Structure 1
Amino acid sequence: MERAVVSMEDGANCSGWSYNGQRMASASVDGTVSIYDADDPTSTSSSFTCSYKWRAHEHAIAKVVWVPPEFGDAIVCVCIDGSFSLWEETDEGKTNLTWKLCKLFEIKEIRVLDLNFGNCGKNLKLAAACADGHIRVYELLDPLELKEWQLQAEFQNVSDTVARFVKPLCLSASIAWSPQRAESQRSMFILGFNSDTSQLNSSKVWEFDEAHQRWKHVAELSLPGDQGDPVYAVAWAPNIGRPYEVVAVATCKGIAIWHLGLKPDTDGRISSEKVALLSGHDGEVWQLEWDMSGMTLATSGSDGMVRLWQSNLNGVWHEQATLDGI
C-alpha cells in the first residue's frame, strides 16, 4: 500500500535525498530551504519530520544537491539569479544543530542550469553547467574546510577545442560524474545541453588529463543522425564488475543506453556503443536515476509517470514497472 513519507510545504520547488536516504532537503520559490529527517533511521518505512528551516536566497531555488557524506552534512542550493551556495550543518552545542553558509558562488549575469559533485580520489570536485554553454569545474582545496574552493577550469561543451560560441541560448543542462571506485580511477563526467546551438547539445564525456592538468573530450554519445539533438538528462550507472561502463542519455528521441570502454585507445579516446533506445514516456524525460547496483534505471518526465527499466541476461532492455506519479 502506498503512503506519503514526507509532506512538503506549499511553494516547494525542488528536493534532494541524502546519500543514505535518511534525510531530505527541499527548497522553495521564496528561497527557503527545509531539512527533513527520518523519525526512525533504522526503519525502511519511516516518516520524515522537518528538523530545520532557513532562508538561503532572496530568489527562488531551482535545485538542491547533497555533498558526498564523507565531507560532512552539507548541501548546495542553486538559485535562479545565477548564484549557488554551499551550506553545512554545524554543532553549536550538545543538542543544537544549525545550518551555516560556507561558500557563496556568484557567476555574474549567468544562470547555473545544473551542478553535481565528483568524488575523485581524495579530491572533491564540483561541476556547474551554465546558460552560456560553459562548464565550470571547482576543486575543494582542503577536505576539512568546505569553504575553500578554487575554479579549476572553464570550457564549453564542444568537441572542437577551437570552436567557441559567444551567446548560445541554453534552456537546461545535465551533468553526471563517473562513480568513483578507486583512487587510481580517472576523473570523468558526462555533460549534455538543451540549447539552440547544436554543437553544444550532444552529450560528451570529459576526462581530466593529469599529465597536462586539463580537461579533454574523450567520447561523444551520439550517432551521426542524432548529433545536435537537445539532451534533457544524463545518468552514469554504478559499475560493480562489468567490463564496460553504462550511461543513459535522454533526448527528444527517447532514452539511449550507451556502453563505454574502460581503457582509452592510443589517442586517449574511449570507445562507445549505443545498445538500446527506450521509449514509453509521452513527452520529454526530465530525470534519470540508477539504483545502487547499476542494474535498474528509473525515469520520469512531463507525462507524470515513473518507469523502471532493466536488461535481461541477453542484454535486451525492457520496461519492468510503471508508477503513476499523480
Structure 2
Amino acid sequence: MSALAASSASLSLSADKPKNIETQHEDMIHDAQLDFYGKRLATCSSDRTVKVFDIVNGAPSSTGETLQGHQGPVWQVAWAHPTFGDILASCSYDGKVIIWKDNGAASSSSSSGPYGSTSGAYGAAPSTAGGWSTIKEHALHTASVNSIAWAPHELGSILACASSDGNVSVLTFNNDGTWAVDIVSAHPIGCNAVSWAPAVMPGSLISAQTGQPGSEAGKVMKRFASAGCDNAVKIWEYSDEANRYVEVDTLQGHTDWVRDVAFAPNIGLPRSYLATASQDRTVLIWTQDSPSSAWTKTALNPTNAASTAAPNKFPDTVWRVSWSVSGNVLAVSCGDGKVTLWKENLKGAWECVSEMDA
C-alpha cells in the first residue's frame, strides 16, 4: 500500500503509526487519494475497480462504494476541486479515463457545481438516483493511460491524461456542456506521469508588492510537466498564438524511465520547484529562480546511501513523489515499501526528516 502511505504522509510530519485500512480490493492497490476536505478516500486496484470511503473521526468507514467500469487494472484516481462538485476521475490499462459524479443526497456540492445533477453536464442526462454515475468516458488513447491530473481550479475544469501511446490528452469542459480535447505528442515511447504547475505566475506576489511596471500579478497560466520512458521530463505551456500546448523546456537528468513528476504548490514567490522520481532509483528536485531562468537540479541523498558506493540512490525504484499542501515537504514512495519525508534546510540542502514503513 505504498501509494496510500504516500498520500497520507504528504499531509503531515506526525510520527503516529499509519492506520491500516481494509479496502476489500481483490488485487494490488495502485493509488489512494483523499478529497480536498479529507472527508473521502478513493482507492483503485488491479481488480479493475475504484472504491470510495467516507472518513469518519479520522478513519475510513468500514464499507465503501465500488465503482465499476474499467476493463483493466486501474492505475490512478484524482479528485476534482469541490468548486466543480463531487467529481472523481480514474485511468486504466484499458486505455480509458472515466469521470464519475456522486449523485447522493448527502453531496454538499452536487446541486451547485457546474456538473450538478440539475445541469445535465458533459451531455449526460440529469440523474435523480443516488450513488455514483459515469458522466464522461474518454477513450481516445490507444494504450494504457498511466496518470491523470486536474488543473488548478482557477483555470477551469481541465484534466490531463498521460498514456503509454506517447501522448498527453488535455480535456477541457466548456460552458455549453461539451468537451474540447487537445492532444500533445509528448514522449515517443510512452508517458508515465503528468503534473500541473500552479496557476499563479511565479514571482507575481513580489511583482505586486514592488509595483514593478509590466507586473504580471494576477496572471494565470496553463502549464504542466510530463514524465516519459525516454528518461526525460518536459514542460508544456499553452500558447494563445499557436492555440495549442507547446514545449518550453526539456529536463535531462535521469538515466532510466521517469515514473513520476510533481510541481510544488506556489503562492506567487519567484522560485518554482519540481520533483521527479525514476526507475534509476533517484529523486531529483528541479528549481527555477524566475520564469526566464534555467532549471537546476539537486538529487536527494538517502542516509543509508551516503556511505555506500551508490550515493543519491534509493534502495529500489522510486514510484511516487507528492508535495504537502504548503509545498515545503516532499513525500517519496520507494519500491522497498518505505515512505520518506524531505525538507529543504536554510542552507538549501534537502534532508530526510521522517521515515515510515508502509
TM-score w.r.t. structure 1 length?
0.81
Asked if the contact 1:39–1:49 (Cα under 8 Å) also holds between the matched residues in 2, the reply is no
* 305-314 vs 9-18, which moves further: 9-18
Matched, 1:88 2:88: no
In structure 2, what is the equivalent of residue 239 of structure 1? 266
Question: Quick check: which one's helix share is greater?
Answer: 2
Deviations 1:101-121 (A, max 9, x none): 101111364221211111263
Cα distance in 1 for partners of 2:167, 2:237 equals 16
Q: 1:187 aligns with which of 197, 206, 222?
A: 222
Matched, 1:78 2:91: yes
Higher relative contact order (CA 8 A, sep 6+): 2
In structure 2, what is the equivalent of residue 156 of structure 1? 185
Structure 2 segments unaligned to the other structure (5+ residues): 1-15, 109-128, 202-217, 302-311
Deviation at 1:10, TM superposition (A): 3.5
Cα distance in 2 for partners of 1:314, 1:240 equals 21
Asked if the contact 1:240–1:294 (Cα under 8 Å) also holds between the matched residues in 2, the reply is no
In structure 2, what is the equivalent of residue 217 of structure 1? 247
C-alpha spacing 1:235/1:3, structure 2 compared with 1 (3 Å): closer
Q: 2:49 aligns with which of 17, 32, 39?
A: 32
Amino acid at match of 2:35: S
In structure 1, what is the equivalent of residue 213 of structure 2? none
Cα distance in 2 for partners of 1:132, 1:3 equals 37
Q: 1:249 aligns with which of 276, 301, 319?
A: 276
C-alpha spacing 1:280/1:50, structure 2 compared with 1 (3 Å): farther
Deviation at 1:125, TM superposition (A): 1.6
In structure 2, what is the equivalent of residue 321 of structure 1? 354
**Secondary structure of 2:83's aligned partner:** helix
TM-score w.r.t. structure 2 length?
0.74
In structure 1, what is the equivalent of residue 195 of structure 2? 176
Cα distance in 2 for partners of 1:51, 1:9 equals 9
Matched, 1:272 2:295: yes
Q: 1:21 aligns with which of 22, 32, 38?
A: 38
Cα distance in 1 for partners of 2:132, 2:352 equals 41
C-alpha spacing 1:110/1:98, structure 2 compared with 1 (3 Å): same
Amino acid at match of 1:27: C
Deviations 1:85-112 (A, max 9, x none): 1110114699974111101111364221
Question: Quick check: which one's strand share is greater?
Answer: 1
Q: 1:64 aligns with which of 53, 77, 80?
A: 77
- Identical pairs, percent: 25
Deviations 1:249-307 (A, max 9, x none): 1221511111124433xxxxx52111444336201100001111111100012111100
Cα distance in 1 for partners of 2:262, 2:286 equals 10
**Secondary structure of 1:50's aligned partner:** coil
Deviation at 1:25, TM superposition (A): 1.1
Matched, 1:11 2:46: no
Asked if the contact 2:74–2:93 (Cα under 8 Å) also holds between the matched residues in 1, the reply is yes
**Number of aligned residue pairs:** 294
C-alpha spacing 1:94/1:8, structure 2 compared with 1 (3 Å): closer
Cα distance in 1 for partners of 2:299, 2:197 equals 20
C-alpha spacing 1:232/1:122, structure 2 compared with 1 (3 Å): closer
Q: CA RMSD in A?
A: 2.6
Deviations 1:216-261 (A, max 9, x none): 11122225xx5x6421111111123532101111221511111124
Cα distance in 1 for partners of 2:152, 2:99 equals 16
Asked if the contact 1:121–1:184 (Cα under 8 Å) also holds between the matched residues in 2, the reply is no
Deviation at 1:48, TM superposition (A): 3.2
Deviation at 1:57, TM superposition (A): 2.6
**Secondary structure of 1:121's aligned partner:** helix
**Secondary structure of 2:25's aligned partner:** coil
Deviation at 1:132, TM superposition (A): 1.7
Cα distance in 2 for partners of 1:150, 1:128 equals 13
